Amino acid sequence: MKLHALLDDGLVLPRLEARDRTGVLREMAARLEARHAPGLDDSLLDKLLKREELGTTAIGKGVAVPHCRAKGLTAPALLLGLSPDGVAFDAVDGKPSHVFFLLVSPEDNPGAGLRLLAAIAGLVRRSRGLSSKLIKAPTPEAIIGVLQAEEEKPRA
């Protein structure tokens, strides 16, 4: 499954206002809840914060993948948020995160979420400068276009 196919203009936040981890999670969770309401349960922020307590979801190279499972979804939900200035997210490389893939998987189908987590990790690993390319894109449509182009590049 391609990540760009799960996104549309309303699921891309090109300029996150939050400047800390909790704020980023709050801002992104609110957008995803609004988009998937009334089906998505309202404890999304709590679930995301609890997941972060287990260990950071920042994977390095300027990317974080906050994720959890939730009732009320029949398929995984993805939201992409960008922070040009970056946010401290306790990344393994010690650098701020600029790109946030918020992934919420159906509680009764965790395998779908795991496949998407693997797809995100693989894309970050093989894409040179993914964060800066996404940050430079001026609109949600352009951001999705950059993501699609990176996903469709032939693998070396």
Domain positions in the chain are 4-152
- Choose the CATH number for 4-152 among 3.20.20.150, 3.40.930.10, 1.10.3720.10, 3.40.50.2300: 3.40.930.10
pTM for the model stands at 0.95
Angle (nearest 5°) at CA 148 between 142 and 151: 145
Residues 79, 112: contact at Cβ < 8 Å? no
Write out the chain's pLDDT in tens, 156 residues.
799 999 999 999 999 999 999 999 999 999 998 887 666 666 899 999 999 999 999 999 999 999 999 888 888 999 999 999 999 999 989 999 999 999 999 988 889 899 999 999 999 999 999 999 999 999 999 999 999 999 999 876
Query: CA–CA distance from 50 to each of 9, 14, 56, 68 (Å)?
Result: 28, 25, 10, 9
Q: Which of 51, 70, 80, 52 is nearest to 109 (CA)?
A: 70
The CA distance from 93 to 61, in Å, is 8
